[in-house]
Structure formats: structure tokens, C-alpha cells
Amino acid sequence: MKIKPYQLILLIFFTPTLLNGQYTPFVEEGKFWIYENHLNSDFPSAISGHAITFLGDTIINSFTYKKVYQLNLKGEHDCPPAQVPCWNFDYPYQTESKAITALIREDTLNKKIYNLLNSSTGEEALLFDFSLNVGDTLNNYVYESIWASTTKEFPGGIVDSIKVIETHGQLRNSIFTFGFYSIIGLPFELPIIISEGLGFTEFGIFYKPLSVFVDYCEGEIEHCNLILSNESTTLQKEIKIYPNPSNGIFRIETDEALKNIRVFSILGQVKIESKFTNKIDLSPLENGIYLLEITTDKEEIFIKKIKKEN
């Protein structure tokens, strides 16, 4: 179950102290984060769904990484045509296809999780840092994902407290902070929890503006009500965006046929949408960071961060 804002506030005041220094590992097989993919953020309409999980290892630059897969899930629009989209999962969850979306490793000694950005150079991004203390500033990925602010009026992105909560059947050391959500285009400040072994309690592993985290399970596949289809295929895709940054035109290089491209502001507002094209023009937009959502003809969705600057 997802934690509601009022429950978050109660948890801040009524949770026990830490678990005697015990750390809950994050990068393990047998974990499944379930998402609905929505048509827009302000008035959600589910159009498809997928799961994120770890399957298999690979060694790059002497580090062992877990392969992160997106498992596309079966479902249907079980409503009259006039009410579509109204997509719902088939249950038990059933996979249709799978694609590698990331390579992640964990430093359990230092309680840090890294995402490999470039296999040639070994460049990594720090996803989560559970070694932080109260008062510390969150790492860049978390900071940007929750649209944090450090203004006096709306302080955010700072570790407010570290407590234990029970979520998804397990006690977890958890970081409490504050961030923003976009509702009808307006930012609202809300408590944010980041839990060991889980990630964001509201977002899961990766924050994507139109992917809504709806369920989580760890353990045997049967226990998680998930059926891995024999028809699932492994699609190792490399999607390149260039130039990035750009002063206007961004080009998309991939072997996959593209169905739809959308550009979002960091508050989740759709700024540009285009179909069946491998380029997008941000010239009309202000300089800044945007999120590029790429949908293939197989309904696989990928999110890339792009930057427009002069």
C-alpha cells in the first residue's frame, strides 16, 4: 500500500529509533517495483504498466553491476470506448516483454547505490546514499527527483530525520525530507521518505513523471503474483540523445521505431509532443532542464534528461 501524506506526518513523530546499525541491502534479485504509465500528470489516465526488477550480473571496470530490467505487463482497457484510456493490470501480473534499462551496483559497506552512466569511461551517478545524517544535503539524483528547494520559505533536500518505519512487510531505516509534487501545474510541498532496500516510498527506484508507483513485492515470483511469460524477449537498447545540451534541436539515435515523443518540465507539465520522429525542437522553450519521454512502437517507455542552453 502507498503511504498517504497524513500518514507520513504521523510517522515522523511516532517511529522508533534505528535498527542497531543494521543495513537493508537494495540491489538484490527477487524484488519487483510495479508501475502504471499515465497519459498525463494532473488528471491521471493509465495507458499501460510495467515492473522494474534485477536479473543477472555483469562486470564492468572491475565492478559487479546488476542488470535492471523493465518488464512490460499485460492489461486491458476494461471500459466503454468513450471512457478509454482506463487501463488495468491483468492479475496475477503477466509479462509481455523485457528490456535492460540500467546497470546498478551497491556499496553495502558505505550504504551507497550507483547507476552506471557510461560503460566506456566508468562514469556513475549516485542514486541513493543511506550513509547521510540529519542535516545533510541529499545527493543530486534524489534532490532533483523531489524538486527540492533550499529557500527559507520552502526548505527541502535536507535530511530532516532518520527513523524506522514498517513498509511492504519489513522494518526499514528511512530518511525523511521534504519535496514538491505538481498538482494542476502548481507545486505542493509534501514529506518524502526514502527507505533502505526500497527507494522512494512514493516513486520506487527511478522517478519518472508519468510512471506511478503502485505496488512492490520481494521474494519468490509466485508469492509476488507475477508470471514471467516464455514469450518475453530481451531487448538491449541503447538510446542516444545528441547534442545534449543543445540550443534547440535534439536528435534521438536508436534502432527502435519511435511512436511518440514528449517533453516535460521538471514539474511534470507537457511542453512539446511529437509523433513518429527522431528529433525534437526545444527552441520555443526557456533554457533549463527537461525530461524527454520516448515511447517505442512496442509501447516501451524511456525517460531521458536533456538540457537546453544557448
Provide the CATH number for the domain around residue 242: 2.60.40.1930
Backbone angles phi, psi at 304, to 5 degrees: -125, 145
pLDDT reported for residue 98: 82
pLDDT number for residue 3:
44
Of 227, 256, 283, the residue at which a domain comes to its end is 227
In this structure, the answer to whether residues 216 and 284 fall within a common structural domain is: no
Are residue 278 and residue 184 in the same domain, yes or no?
A: no
For residues 155 and 288, state if they share a domain.
Answer: no
Shared domain check, 258 and 109: no
Is residue 31 domain-shared with residue 141, that is, in the same domain? yes
Task: Specify the pLDDT at position 106.
Answer: 95
Give tens-digit pLDDT for 104-153. Answer: 999 999 999 999 888 778 889 999 999 999 999 888 888 877 776 555 55
Taking alpha carbons only, the member of 108, 146, 140 closest to residue 124 is 140
Same-domain check for residues 75 and 131: yes
Using DSSP bridges, classify how beta strands 226-227 and 93-107 pair: parallel, antiparallel or unpaired: parallel
Q: pLDDT, tens digit, for every residue of 239-273?
A: 788 898 899 999 988 877 888 888 877 666 778 88
Entry pTM: 0.69
157/90 same-domain check: yes
Is residue 134 a part of any domain in this protein? Answer: yes
- pLDDT in the model for residue 50: 92
Separation of alpha carbons 103 and 100, rounded Å: 8
Lowest mean pLDDT among 23-32, 138-147, 239-248, 299-308: 299-308
Domain boundary residue among 200, 227, 254? 227
Pair (31, 175) in one structural domain: yes
Amino acid at 276: F
CB atoms within 10 A of CB 222: 9
Alpha-carbon distances of 285 from 3, 187, 262, 267, 308, rounded to whole Å: 35, 20, 13, 14, 8
Question: What pLDDT shows up at residue 80?
Answer: 86
Same domain for 284 and 245: yes
Residue 61 has pLDDT above 60, yes or no: yes
Q: What is the mean pLDDT of residues 211-217?
A: 90
Average pLDDT over residues 91-102: 85
Is-contact 126 112, C-beta < 8 A? yes
Task: Please tell me whether residues 193 and 274 are part of one structural domain.
Answer: no
Confidence of residue 92 (pLDDT cuts 50, 70, 90): confident
Q: Are residues 261 and 169 in the same domain?
A: no
Structural domain that includes position 261: 238-308
- Residue 182 confidence (pLDDT) above 70: no
* Most confident option among 181-185, 205-209, 243-247: 243-247
Phi then psi for 77, rounded to 5 degrees?
Answer: -95, 90
- Whether residue 233 is contained in a domain is answered as no
Residues 208 and 277 in one domain: no
For residue 20, the model assigns a pLDDT of 61
More confident residue, 3 or 301: 301
Residue 96: band (very low, low, confident or very high) from pLDDT cuts 50, 70, 90? confident
At 268 the pLDDT is 63
Question: In the chain, what percentage of residues exceed pLDDT 90?
Answer: 25
* Total count of domains within the chain: 2
In the predicted model, what is the mean pLDDT of the chain? 80
Q: Tell me, yes or no, whether 244 lies in a domain.
A: yes
Asked if residue 179 is part of any domain, the answer here is yes
Beta strands in 119-257 (DSSP E): 123-129, 161-167, 170-183, 186-195, 199-200, 211-218, 226-227, 234-236, 240-242, 249-253
C-alpha to C-alpha distance for 236 and 241, rounded to whole angstroms: 17
143, 132 contact by CB (below 8 A): no
